[in-house]
Structure 1
Amino acid sequence: MKILVCIKQVPDLESRFKPNASNTWFDEADLAYRMNEYDEYAVEQAVQLREECGDSSDLTVLSIGPDRVVEAIKKALAMGCDRAVHIQDQAVSSRDPWQIASIISAYAREHKFDLIFTGMQSQDRGSAQVGAMLAELLGVSCATTVVGFSCKDNVVTAKRELEGGVKGVMRMKTPALVTCQLGLNIPRYPTLPNIMKAKKKEIIALPVADLLKEESLAKTTSFHPPAKKGGGLLVEGDIADQVDKVLALLKEKTAVLR
């Protein structure tokens, strides 16, 4: 079985975020990066399936971006992926979901994967569109927001998380694609021996120009932080004094109690 897992490197949520000079994306100067959390579940599920299938399977990890995404790729290799594809793209932050899906499909179509795993969404854009668009472009079945997965005799059984906490179960034949939700599994930590083995695994670098054929359907024209709001007011004293002060403030600053 040929398996592909798609990952994205995103800014760590503990980083300091501010718009760049053109107000079209984040200023990367103060950002730290990590693998997208949803993609970690996708990698883990792909590796589990790879282990179940044994030597009859092959697992490739793919990521799009500048040179720094190689760190995320190496983590996926250390988790158990066999090889990697790095699609080199310095302008990946300006790509819309349709372009990203088109780039991946241009590679995946040629290699005819049986199963493709992606995260449900990325933590920076949160569009949740790339996986479904990729499945459409490849003409394969798709299950999104998957929280339970099994594959036997080329039939995928996927438990999906739906609105209101409802769980839905669907079955589909391969080739297929699933997008992975939190709770699907517990991603493994790469061990030191596997980190060392990952250094010897193949990473194929491909220029994005060789794969990108689609024009952008949506462009970011401006990107701004939320407007700053006024600070809070600390009311001190015993309870009776605090109540009087709060009532006085409400009368002064709002239409309440007037």
Structure 2
Amino acid sequence: MKILVCIKQVPDMESKFKIDSENKWYDSADLAWRMNEYDEYGVEQAVRLKEQVKDADLTVLCIGPDKVKETMKKALAMGCDRGVHLVDDAISAKDPFTVASIIAEFARDKDFQYIFTGMQSQDRGSAQVGVLVAEMLSLPCITTIVDFEYTEGKVTTRRELEGGVKAVVSVSGPAVFTCQLGLNTPRYPTLPNIMKAKKKELLSIPVEEIVQVENKLQTEKIAYPEKKGTGLILEGDAGELADQLISILKEKTGVLA
């Protein structure tokens, strides 16, 4: 069984973000970087499946500049067999369709039985890449999974829906899964596995050798939310609050005058 897990390197969400000089994205200088949290669940589930199935082979894929290799090493230390780095210094400017096109073209002739992605990335948050990859490869896709069980070639999952509802969905054969928070508890790489990861294959391929594709969307501008007036806090007992509220409404709108 061949398994693929796709990850993305994102800034630590505790970082202080600034808009870049072109007003198109955030300034990447002075940011701390990590694996996208949703992707960590995907890596953990892919590793668990690899451990369950004899002779399974697990590849981790990441698109981006040279610095993403540090994030890929964590996936290798968690249990992936090899890494494929698709070199693209301009990945932040690419829309979800373009990113999915790159992944799909790489995976098209590799006979991956199962492909895992995070539900969404923490920086862009489109939740589209995994679904688009499945569509481009003509594979079924189960999204926002919070439970995964593999038995004799069949996968049974639970999907998280709005309102806390869980839907049970099963699939046989090749499929794509997008992973939600709570699917599992990602393992912490041990020192011996970190050392082993240094010897694992980490292949770098220029993204242009995979596919030539143009963005479908262009970002015109990003900006901070406009500052608005501060709220008014009323104090007192219920009767006083009611009188204050009525007075304010009369003053502001004249509706109750």
TM (norm. structure 2) is 0.90
Q: CA deviation at 1:234?
A: 8.7
Deviations 1:89-120 (A, max 9, x none): 00001111111111011111121100000000
Tell me which moved more, 58-67 or 147-156: 147-156
Q: CA deviation at 1:67?
A: 1.0
Tell me which moved more, 222-231 or 112-121: 222-231
Distance in 2 between residues matched to 1:164 and 1:129, nearest whole Å: 21
Corresponding residue of 1:81: 80
Distance in 2 between residues matched to 1:165 and 1:175, nearest whole Å: 28
Which runs of structure 2 are paired with 1:104-183 in the superposition (5 Å)? 104-183=103-182
Distance in 2 between residues matched to 1:107 and 1:93, nearest whole Å: 19
Distance in 1 between residues matched to 2:207 and 2:15, nearest whole Å: 28
1:133 is paired with a residue whose SS is: helix
> Which letter maps to 1:2?
K
Corresponding residue of 2:48: 48
> Which letter maps to 2:214?
E
Deviations 1:186-205 (A, max 9, x none): 01111111111111111000
Which ranges in structure 1 are unaligned for 5 or more consecutive residues? Answer: none
Q: CA deviation at 1:232?
A: 6.5
Distance in 1 between residues matched to 2:151 and 2:89, nearest whole Å: 40
Distance in 2 between residues matched to 1:252 and 1:176, nearest whole Å: 60
Which ranges in structure 2 are unaligned for 5 or more consecutive residues? Answer: none
Distance in 1 between residues matched to 2:164 and 2:231, nearest whole Å: 36
Deviations 1:204-253 (A, max 9, x none): 00101112332211111101111123456899xx969xx79x95995898
Corresponding residue of 2:18: 18
CA contact (8 A) 1:17 1:27 kept: yes
RMSD: 2.2
Corresponding residue of 1:100: 99
Deviations 1:20-68 (A, max 9, x none): 11111001113211100000000000000011113x1100000000111
> Which letter maps to 2:57?
D
Flag the 1:251–1:150 CA change in 2: closer, same or farther, 3 A: closer
Deviations 1:132-173 (A, max 9, x none): 100111111110000111122221111111122111111111
Corresponding residue of 1:227: 226
- Percent identity over the alignment is 57
1:67 is paired with a residue whose SS is: coil
**Residue-pair matches, total:** 252
TM (norm. structure 1) is 0.90
1:23 is paired with a residue whose SS is: coil
Tell me which moved more, 64-73 or 209-218: 209-218
1:30 is paired with a residue whose SS is: coil
Distance in 2 between residues matched to 1:132 and 1:164, nearest whole Å: 22
Corresponding residue of 1:198: 197
